[in-house]
Amino acid sequence: MKKYQNFINGKWCDAKSGKTFENRNPANWSEIVGIFPKSGKEDVEEAIKAARTAFEKWRLVPAPKRGDILKTVGDIMSARKEEIAKLMTREMGKVLTETKGDVQEGIDTAYYAASEGRRLFGHTVPSELPNKFNMAMRVPIGVAGIITPWNFPMAIPTWKIFPALLCGNTVVFKPASDTPATATVLVEILAEAGVPEGVINIVHGGGGEVGNAIVGHQEVDLVSFTGSTEIGIKISEMGSKTLKRVSLELGGKNAQIVMDDADLNLALDGVLWGAFGTTGQRCTATSRLILHEKVFDKFMSILVDRTKKLRLGDGLLPTTDVGPCVNEGQRQTDHSYVEIGLKEGAKLACGGDIGKGGDLDKGWFYQPTIFTEVTPNMRIAKEEIFGPVLSVIRIKSLEEAINVLNDTIYGLSSSIYTKNVNDAFRAIRDIKAGITYINAPTIGAEAHMPFGGVKQTGNGHCEGGWTVYEFFSEWKTIYIDYSGGLQRAQIDT
């Protein structure tokens, strides 16, 4: 069994306390994937000190050179894709095709970041005065605290760390306790590719200790967090005490609308992938199906039939469609929502219990579950479950569908299946979500596009694409007066 370490100031090291924790395979709980340092405040302190010192040199490395290092990172990740994907499946359960996709997203993000090193565009703007030149350029900020969830153990850290580094910041990274192994491989690769000592640091350990210590620290200038809304609010409150810049990517309650004129086979493939891919544990997972009454019965009978055929199992096996929940707690949450749904009067169309029998007894499996007769006011229609549980709501019109879709505190992803171009454009206009798909499921973000939610899914920052570079840099405005005399803005114009 492999023993992993923290990486601080270019050196691999244990927690100062010597404490450790285990990382186990959710498909086979008796298998220990690795032993990790259970770090504390003192380890975080050392990592922040290293990052602060390293910042003074790293910020002066030309952005194209920083980009070249990230290009090498992408190359190494490509060469190790298969091996990383297998490790990821072992530590968090999703099927191998999906973990390969997760690594690929990291590779795409590396190459995008490498190319951004030769852009990082600023602005030149005419001055209101003669013989004067105005420009604004982006500059690094300082030490970035990066705190990530377990559901995309490679992609999400890369969305944050690569732009942070490219912009000239240094990083203290705390990955989720459920996925520390993939995160460690990412840091290994960054170091191998030539990221200098102190520029990237990883500190393993619990959110309450390591996460808190990062967010509360005076010397951390910005925090990028992805996780639950509950923890996001705490981070926002704590970060505000030192006026940190904080980016939050939080929960979702995403819905797919299927109108009566939709291509039903396409919509079926979409909802199956959206609801049960990654065992429903995506921030963009389809948690609600908003289905037109004219196609309701026909659609439901095929959907339930196809859902019952999905094969639960170890994500490493080619026969598996749906892997386990990430841990026992998440499976309990899923089941508690099934009990809540039943009490609220919804009807189970399939699933509703843990996955049992044979190898399923070794892990945290939950049957793909569908509720019908769900009304928009039920908790299963409003709250994030983060498991393979789909709530189906019947609607009569596009207007009703959009109202139902918008009726949650979240606003991450959304989708509509229709052949009517007018309805599609109305949906684009009226749906309150950061992402809207037309004739595609709620999942499927591409690395070079903005990614983020509205309402209580976030706090207005966007990851992905060109937008994330706004978060990891700040503007410096420069006026160059070459008139040789005093020119007073607003007065001498």
Q: Is 93 helix (H, G, I), strand (E, B) or coil?
A: coil
> Least separation, in Å, of the C-beta of 235 and ligand NAP?
6
> Least separation, in Å, of the C-beta of 85 and ligand NAP?
18
Determine whether 13 is an active site residue.
no
- Cα–Cα distance measured from residue 254 to residue 275, given in angstroms and rounded to the nearest whole number: 10
Closer residue to ligand NAP in complex, CB, 81/253: 253
Where do we find the tokens 């639950």?
228
Residues 6+ away with beta carbon under 8 Å from 445: 105, 284, 435, 451, 464
Q: Which two tokens stand for residue 227?
A: 């996780």
- Contacting residue, 120, 147, 202, 381, with ligand NAP by CB under 6 A: 147
- Cα–Cα distance measured from residue 220 to residue 244, given in angstroms and rounded to the nearest whole number: 8
- Contacting residue, 89, 148, 418, 436, with ligand NAP by CB under 6 A: 148
Count CB-CB contacts under 10 A for residue 441. 24
Closest by alpha carbon to 366, among 326, 338, 324?
Answer: 324
> Least separation, in Å, of the C-beta of 157 and ligand NAP?
10
Pair type for strands 254-258 and 200-202? unpaired
- Contacting residue, 189, 283, 393, 404, with ligand NAP by CB under 6 A: 283
> Least separation, in Å, of the C-beta of 273 and ligand NAP?
17
Amino acid at residue number 275 = A
Determine whether 249 is an active site residue.
yes
Does residue 250 bind ligand NAP (CB under 6 A)? yes
Amino acid at residue number 262 = A
- Of the candidate spans 20-28, 136-144, 210-218, 474-482, the one that interacts with ligand NAP by CB under 6 A turns out to be 210-218
Cα distances from 365 to residues 153, 210, 421, in angstroms, run 20, 30, 40
Question: Of 167, 283, 325, 350, which residue is the catalytic one?
Answer: 283
| CA 8 to mean position of chain CA atoms | 24
Does residue 150 bind ligand NAP (CB under 6 A)? yes
Closest by alpha carbon to 423, among 434, 431, 433?
Answer: 431
Does residue 222 bind ligand NAP (CB under 6 A)? no
Binders of ligand NAP among residues 76 to 115 (CB under 6 A) are none
Strand partners, 415: 256, 437
> Least separation, in Å, of the C-beta of 159 and ligand NAP?
8
- Of the candidate spans 59-67, 160-168, 247-255, 476-484, the one that interacts with ligand NAP by CB under 6 A turns out to be 247-255
- Of the candidate spans 21-29, 147-155, 293-301, 340-348, the one that interacts with ligand NAP by CB under 6 A turns out to be 147-155
Does residue 211 bind ligand NAP (CB under 6 A)? yes
Strand partners, 394: 291
Question: Of 98, 105, 209, 249, which residue is the catalytic one?
Answer: 249
Q: Is 139 helix (H, G, I), strand (E, B) or coil?
A: strand
Tell me the site size for ligand NAP, rule CB under 6 A.
Answer: 31
Binders of ligand NAP among residues 157 to 196 (CB under 6 A) are 174, 176-178
Binding mask 472-491 toward ligand NAP (x if CB under 6 A, else -) reads --------------------
Q: Which residues are catalytic?
A: 249, 283
